[in-house]
Structure formats: structure tokens, C-alpha cells
Structure 1
Amino acid sequence: MSFAKAYLGSRGVAGRALAVGACALLLAGCDTLSSFNPFDKSEVYKPEIVANAPAEEIYNDGLARVQKRDFEGAAKKFSSLDKQYPYSEWSRKGLIMEAYANYEGGLYEEAITASRRYLQQYPNTSDAAYAQYLMASSYYDQIPDITRDQEKSERAILTLQELVQRYPTSEYSADAKKKIQVASDQLAGKELEVGRFYLQKRNYSGAINRFRTVVSRYQTTRHVEEALERLTEAYMAMGIVGEAQTAAAVLGHNFPDSPWYKDAHALLTKGGVEPRENSESWISKAFRGVPQVGQRTG
């Protein structure tokens, strides 16, 4: 069962509402205060006593707004629980629901802030994994296309990895792993795009650095095949034939049916050499312990 359904369904507002504490003393309107003369003994100022709404009532109001998809209004209601009933169970429940409402409403930065506050204040509660998931998902949903800065992608991966490490048995772990794969693919795509640009400009060392990042850090993404072929191109252009042969050999070993391997093999053949792996190359070392093509995910 999803978190939203749990909170709006069986979990609802479980438990008894907290007893209403001391009432807040609020001055009447500004006009009333300005007209009151403290030196006139015939006038007696009577402060208006306004009681806080019961916590359960505020919480239910927030849930009703969620059902109506008034997420911004719901978030404000849940947030008010912390102000009116600080350090209470209602405050805790309100904070996680505030994060949820902000996330559903597309207010990602607000969702991240509320989720982070929850983790700081309630790191060992049953909803801590969900707070981490909301924070990670808020970064993930802001991932831009590969032509733009990928800071959100990097933050998404870090927070998703933290979720998997800290809460490996949570119901959100499997989805987090899938999202890590997608975000990693995005970062690899960005590196590959820049590498292609350098290769076109004949900045071979710059291109190699970008392709190396893909091969070293994003081996399980769909971009690694092209990165190995591009390394073959760049190394051949620089006359570093041994590394070009190794890149092609590793590509052929892991992706024998890849069209990128056919291109790499043709390029080496044109240069009078064949794919041959040097086990001491950084390329070979990067692929040691990596699952074979049949075992890859994504």
C-alpha cells in the first residue's frame, strides 16, 4: 500500500487527539488597541481569548485538502500543527504529511526542506525511510535534459543511494535502485555529449577524459558501449594504439553484438591492427568485477 493511501486510509488519524492545552491570548484588532486609553479608569480592556483548533481537526482538514488536490493548502495546514502543537505526535505526523503534500503539489524545494527536517528530528521512526524517499524523489523529478546542468541528477543519486544504504529493506528501496539507474544514465549521457563535442573539435585528451568518466563510473548504463567506441577513435587519433585496441577488445568482450563494436573493429582494421586487451590498462581494470552483458540491468 502506498504511503498516501496508508495515511488517507487505514492509518488515517489513528490514536486519540491530544488534549487542547493552554489557550493563546490574542489582542483584538489594531483599531481596538489604538482606541483604548489606559489612563481612563472607566475603560476596561478585555483581551479576546482564542483557543487553538484541536490537532485532530487541523490534521483532518489537511487530509481533506489532499483529497481535493489542494496540496498547497494542505501543506499549510499540516505545517500549522508544528506551530500549535510542537514536540507532539501530531507535529511529527504533520511534518511528514507536509513533505508529502508539497511533493504532490510540485513544490519540490519545500518538500526537500520538510523531508530533511523530518529526518533530523525523527531519524528512527517508521516514516523516516519515506521522508528520505520524498527528498530523493523531489530531486529526481527535477532532473533536466542532458543539455543542461546535472546538479539535480547528482543530488538525486546521492539521496537515493543513501536511502538504499540506510533502509535496505524498506518498500521504497527497489524503486530507488531503478531511479538510480535512470539518473546515472542521464549523467553518463551528459558526459558523452561533451566528449563528442571535444572529439569533433579534435581535443582528444578532453574527449578521453569524458569517455573515461562514463566507462569508470557508469558502466551499467546504455552509454558505455558508445563510450568505449569513442575511446577507440580518440586513442587511434592520438596514436596510442594499445589503448585503442584494449577499448575495442573490452567492448567486443562485453557487447559482442553491439554495432559500436563493429565500428571500433572496422576502425582498427583500417589502421592495420586488431582488438587486443592489455590487462594492465585502466580500461581493463575498470571492467574487472563488472557483470557480463547477460547479467546487466537497465
Structure 2
Amino acid sequence: MRFLTLTMAALAATLMLAGCGGTSTRELISNPDLLYERAKRAADAGNYRDAIFFYEQLEARFPFSNAARQGQLDLMHAYYRNREPESAIDQADQFIRENPTHPRIDYAYYIKGLVTFERNPNFLERWFNADLSERPPIDALESFQAFQTLVQRFPESEYAGDARQRMIFLRNRLANYEVHVAEYYLKRGAYVGAINRAKYAIENYDGAPQIRRALEVMAQAYTELGMPELAEDTRRVLRANYGSPDTLDAAERPEKKAWWKFW
């Protein structure tokens, strides 16, 4: 069965290559530049399925050529445009791992961040008024880390500006989740856990709107633990940055609940 599968795959590849008008199959499969040109032409025409095929052939047949290296970058973009997010991420990770000093490695980080950014289920918030801050933001964290690496290592990259803008949104989502967990611990009397989660949000997502609430949670948790000095220190930071230490009003921290909510 495995032999039959491999044979069929080889036959399909041969037929695909044979269908390239103006260039013989033998010439195409023996020249990495021609394969790259054929792949790029397909991608430019929006035919990402064919582009992926030719980029994969290029990488398989000429793995050490300059054309193949450029093709690896183009392939991750083709996967992304062809709605194959896992393949795009795998390709980006492979390129980063195998080409740590490549001059265009910033693009690999950008594609990885972009793909995981677009996997965030924002449509649930828009259509069902759902508060997703209560769900572990795994994709948001992965996207944030990819963009963070990009802007820290390559601040002058042409992709850094867009990455920074997306990081603001991701930072806020991640901070929302950490503060939600801190509030959960606070309500259940797990004050040390509440302090740790609030402190993590403050240290890692500075500037997010929910940092004010994180400080409030910390102050209350310290009070409940019988640590008035630490509670007052926290309130002092709260007053210095936000004025009144009172809790947020309803306009600043709206309650979102949906009848269908199941988490």
C-alpha cells in the first residue's frame, strides 16, 4: 500500500510538471531557478495550490540551492494564503531553526505571528458578545511571542510596525486573561495565587488597560493576607498611576455574559 501511495504521488508530480507549457519536464526538474520561477508565477496569479506544489518540489529536489531558500520563505506565505495555518507555522519554525542568521528571518517570525494572530476567535466576541478573556489565549500568546521576537531582534524590519500594532491588541487580551484568573483566585480565597497572577500581568503586559485592575486585586489580596504595608505600597502605585484606588466603574469594566456560554 505504501509503495502504491508513493507511486501515485510520483505520477501526480510527473503529470503536474509535464503540464508546464513552454518548458520541458526534464528541463524544469533539473533547474532550480526554473522551478522557482514557475512557483512564483503561480503564486502571483493567486494559484496557491500549484505554487505550493512547485515550491515543495523545489525544496525536495534542490534543498541547498539559493532558489530553494527563497522558496521556503515564499512557501510559508503560500500556505498562509491557501488557508493552511499549521503548514505555514511548521514551515516558519523550520526556516527559523535551519537559518538562524538568514537576512530575511524576520519575515518567518512575522508570518508565524500573523498566522497565529488570525486564529484568535474574535468573531465570537463580535457576533455573540462573548468575553473570551476567560479562555486560555494560547494562540494569542504564541503570536505575541513571535511578534515580540521580531520587534526586539529586528526593530528596523519592514514588518516591525505592523507587528507592534498587533502586539497592542494581543497584550490587552493576554492581560485580560491573567487578571481574570487573578480575580478568580481572589474570590475563592487563594490570595497568593491572585497576587502571583496579577503581578505577572503587571510585569509582562505593562500599558494594558487591565493593569489598574491587577493592582486593585493585589492590594485586596495583601489586605486579606494581613500584609497592610504591602497593600498600602500597592495602593500607592495605584494612586500614582491612576488616581483614585477605587474599583473600576461599569463603563470601564463591562460585564459580558451570554446565555449560551459554556466555559
Superposition TM-score, scaled by structure 1 size:
0.62
Equivalent position of 1:158 in the other structure: 145
SS in 2 for 1:222: coil
More displaced stretch, 225-234 vs 236-245: 236-245
The 8 Å contact of residues 117 and 140 in structure 2, kept in 1 or not, is answered as yes
Match among 116, 119, 123 for residue 93 of structure 2? 116
Greater Cα offset, 78-87 or 66-75: 66-75
Tell me which residue corresponds to 1:129: 106
Aligned to 1:51: 26
Task: Report the Cα distance in structure 1 between the residues aligned to 2:119 and 2:155, rounded to whole angstroms.
Answer: 24
Once the two structures are aligned, what percentage of the paired residues are identical?
Answer: 25
Change (3 A) 1:126 1:203: closer
1:263 maps to what in 2? 247
Cα distance in 2, alignment partners of residues 50 and 57 from structure 1: 11
The verdict on how the C-alpha distance between 1:123 and 1:241 changes in structure 2, with shifts beyond 3 A counting, is closer
CA distance in 2 between counterparts of 1:91 and 1:186 reads 38
- Runs of 4 or more, structure 1, over 4 Å off, are 54-57
- Once residues 89 and 231 of structure 2 are traced to their aligned partners in structure 1, the CA distance between those partners, rounded to angstroms, is 45
SS across alignment from 2:135: coil
SS across alignment from 1:168: coil
- Kindly indicate whether the alpha-carbon contact (under 8 Å) linking 1:52 and 1:84 is maintained by their aligned counterparts in 2: no
2:240 partner letter: H
Deviation (angstroms), 1:101: 0.7
Task: Answer yes or no: is the 8 Å Cα contact 1:76–1:98 preserved in 2.
Answer: no
- What corresponds to 1:104 in structure 2? 81
Shift of 1:83: 1.9
* CA–CA distance in structure 2, aligned partners of residues 216 and 50 of structure 1: 58
Amino acid at match of 1:182: F
Instruction: Kindly indicate whether the alpha-carbon contact (under 8 Å) linking 2:213 and 2:247 is maintained by their aligned counterparts in 1.
Output: no
Cα deviation, residue 170, structure 1: 1.3
1:99-122 deviation digits (Å, cap 9, x = unpaired): 111122232221122223333444
What is the CA distance between 1:68 and its match in structure 2?
Answer: 4.6
* Corresponding residue to 1:250 among 231, 237, 243: 237
Aligned residue in 1 for 2:196: 209
Contact 1:153 1:186 (C-alpha < 8 Å) held by counterparts: yes
Provide the rounded CA distance (Å) in 2 between the counterparts of 1:135 and 1:73.
22
Using the alignment, how far apart are the partners of 1:262 and 1:203 within structure 2?
22
Structure 2 distance, partners of 1:243, 1:86, is 59
Secondary structure of 1:262 counterpart: coil
Would the alpha carbon gap of residues 147 and 61 (structure 1) be closer, same or farther in structure 2, given more than 3 Å must change? farther
Q: How does 1:55-74 map to 2 (within 5 A)?
A: 55-74=32-51
Number of residue pairs matched?
215
Pairwise mapping of residues 218-237 of structure 1 onto structure 2 (< 5 A)? 218-237=205-224
User: How much does 1:224 deviate?
Assistant: 0.3
Question: How far apart are the structure 2 equivalents of 1:214 and 1:122?
Answer: 33
Q: Which amino acid aligns with 1:184?
A: R
Is 2:227 the counterpart of 1:240? yes
Structure 2 residue runs of 5 or longer lacking an equivalent are 1-9, 12-23, 122-131, 249-263
Q: TM-score if structure 2 supplies the norm length?
A: 0.69
**Kept in 2: contact 1:65–1:71 (CA 8 A):** yes
Could you tell me how far 1:198 is from its partner in structure 2? 2.0
Instruction: Tell me if the contact between 2:32 and 2:65 (Cα under 8 Å) persists in the aligned partners.
Output: no
Distance 1:214 1:120, change over 3 A: closer
Which of structures 1 and 2 has the bigger CA Rg?
A: 1
Structure number with the higher helix fraction is 2
* 1:80 and 2:57 matched: yes
CA contact (8 A) 1:184 1:221 kept: yes
Deviations 1:255-285 (A, max 9, x none): 12x6xx3338xxxxxxxxxxxxxxxxxxxxx
Distance 2:231 2:190 in 1: 16
For residue 55 of structure 1, report the CA deviation from its aligned partner.
4.2
RMSD over aligned Cα, in angstroms?
2.9
